[in-house]
Amino acid sequence: MSSIHFDISERKVLLRLFDIASVLALLYLVGLVFNFDYFKINADHWVWSIVLGLYLTIFATIFELYNLHKASKFEIVVQNIILTSSVTVLFYLLTPFFTPELPENRLQIIYFYISVNLALFIWRYAYIVLISAPRFFKKVLLVGNARDIDNIIESLQKSDPNYRVIGFINTDSIAYTSLQYEELKEFGLQNVSETVREHSISEIVVATPDSSGMTISLYNQLIVLLENGIVIREYRQVYEEITRRVPVQHVDKDFYRYFPFSRSNQNKLYLFFHRILDLLFSLLGLLFGLIIFPAILIGNLFANRGPLFYTQVRVGRNGKHFRIYKLRSMVTDAEKYGAQFADKKDMRVTRFGRFLRRSRFDEIPQFINVIKGEMSVIGPRPERPVFVKELSEKIPFYEVRHLIKPGVTGWAQVNAKYGSTQEDALEKLQYDLYYIKRRSLFLDISIVIKTLSTIIFFRGQ
């Protein structure tokens, strides 16, 4: 009998629903016990609850309350709850057309704010103690080659803290040796059903090619388990679902059988509204740039001492080259020794330039490229031709990212870590291909919200 567990999507839905439910429940209780009439839950004012729930969900997403790694750490959750509740209450108070009018007794606003915080604190503490506890981990049995075991486990457990590979069946002729996962159990090819039953396995992940170790005996045992209700999935499917990246390094040359492109790439209605939003966001971005331009000009004058803008050739859709516009963040002779990737602690970046990068203000001029149609607000990051040529020779399917317009922000920019190695480029490509494969309005909205989180928490690259 497999143990109870929650998948990533189930936990995120659970967090959203109980965030709203706990806040509304406590506000209702406060209304019953105390003389609290600012916020009422009844048939006459149902819109108030919907608007509060909507604000709460949006700002909790921006302030990363639904990041599962951070949702299991109480000290981080406390900080994010305070940020979320503060901005939620502020917006709620500033939209009286859809929300209650400000009360004459301003003390009620304090009650309202404390109630929202307290409800989230109580529920999130319960989540950490109960749902994030080991008893709800998904116990997984891995079937794969010994040489791949560590990399597979690391990629899956890094993305989902509740995903636990407790053991494996080695289909390789090479013995498994590792100091990284000493607690990992190795099971034999015989009697897999008994292994699943004794260790309460929830899922079996198969990460071995048919021609490499998948014997007829093992295959038949897996079929029997599948018929008995055990979930058995292929590794690439699990990897994409959990990490939200495409595992190109594990995909054969027959790539297009595995990688059906999103219909949104050819959907004229989606592309039309996508272009409208590109223009709208670009105009808003340039307007914001004009507002902060005096401060940037002064900062550049005293800290950068040189040209404010610079242009650079990048590779766009279908491999076409274009000139990208940016605010200069490096010293004027940054590439006197030739083109090179920027490091996280690149000494060529000025102090003011580091601020521009971390706030992502240096990318504001790129909205001009968006208006010109060379870029989109959302898409893969445009790279320089010399780096594209180099990476295309080393990383499979790298050119696929040029099927759509490059973007000011994107799925890779808001998820991948900063880096300049080939491994970092591979990780970013995995995110880019996931976006091309799953491109949709919902994913675009998710990227916009994550970008706001990046700016707010000063994580720009």
Cα distance between residue 54 and residue 77, in whole Å: 20
CA-closest candidate to residue 352, choices 330, 333, 336: 330
> 176 - beta bridge partners?
none
Q: What are phi and psi of 291, to 5 degrees?
A: -65, -40
Do 341 and 330 touch, CB atoms closer than 8 A?
no
CB atoms within 10 A of CB 143: 22
Strand-strand pairing, 309-315 and 321-327: antiparallel
Q: Which two tokens stand for residue 26?
A: 């406590």
| Residue 162 pLDDT | 77
pLDDT at 281: 94
The tens place of each residue's pLDDT in the chain, 461 residues long, gives 445 566 677 788 889 999 999 999 999 998 888 877 788 888 888 899 999 999 999 999 999 899 887 888 888 999 999 999 999 999 998 887 888 888 778 788 888 999 999 999 999 999 988 877 666 788 899 998 888 888 888 888 777 777 888 888 888 878 887 767 777 888 988 889 999 999 889 899 998 865 666 788 888 998 999 888 888 988 888 888 888 888 877 666 555 555 566 777 788 889 999 999 999 999 999 999 999 999 999 988 888 888 889 899 999 999 999 999 999 888 776 565 555 666 566 667 888 888 888 888 999 999 999 999 999 999 999 999 998 998 888 888 888 889 999 999 999 998 887 666 778 888 899 999 999 988 988 899 989 988 988 888 766 56
Alpha-helical regions (H) of 199-315: 216-227, 235-243, 255-258, 268-299
Tell me if 175 sits within 8 A of 208, measured CB to CB.
no
For the record, the structure tokens of 364 come out as 């504001």
Which pLDDT score is estimated for 380? 94
pLDDT of residue 412: 92
Report in angstroms the alpha-carbon separations of 226 from 167, 218, 222, 263. Answer: 18, 12, 6, 32
CA distance 411 to 443: 9
Residue 2: the pLDDT is: 45
Q: What is the Rg, in whole angstroms, of the alpha carbon atoms belonging to the chain?
A: 26
**Can you count the helices (H) and strands (E) in the chain?**
17, 9
Identify which of 153, 139, 150 has the alpha carbon closest to the alpha carbon of residue 239: 153
Q: Locate all alpha helices (DSSP H) within 300-418, ordered by sequence.
A: 351-359, 366-372, 385-394, 411-415
pTM above 0.85, yes or no: no
342 and 348 Cβ atoms separated by less than 8 Å:
yes
Kindly list the structural domains of the chain, giving each domain's residue range(s) and its CATH number in brackets, ordered by start. Answer: 8-131 (no CATH), 137-243 (3.40.50), 263-456 (no CATH)
Token digits for 370?
A: 């968006």
**Rounded to an integer, what distance in angstroms lies between the CA atom of residue 370 and that of residue 324?**
10
Report the pLDDT value the prediction gives residue 12, as an integer from 0 to 100.
Answer: 85
* CA proximity to 255, closest of 388, 55, 429: 429
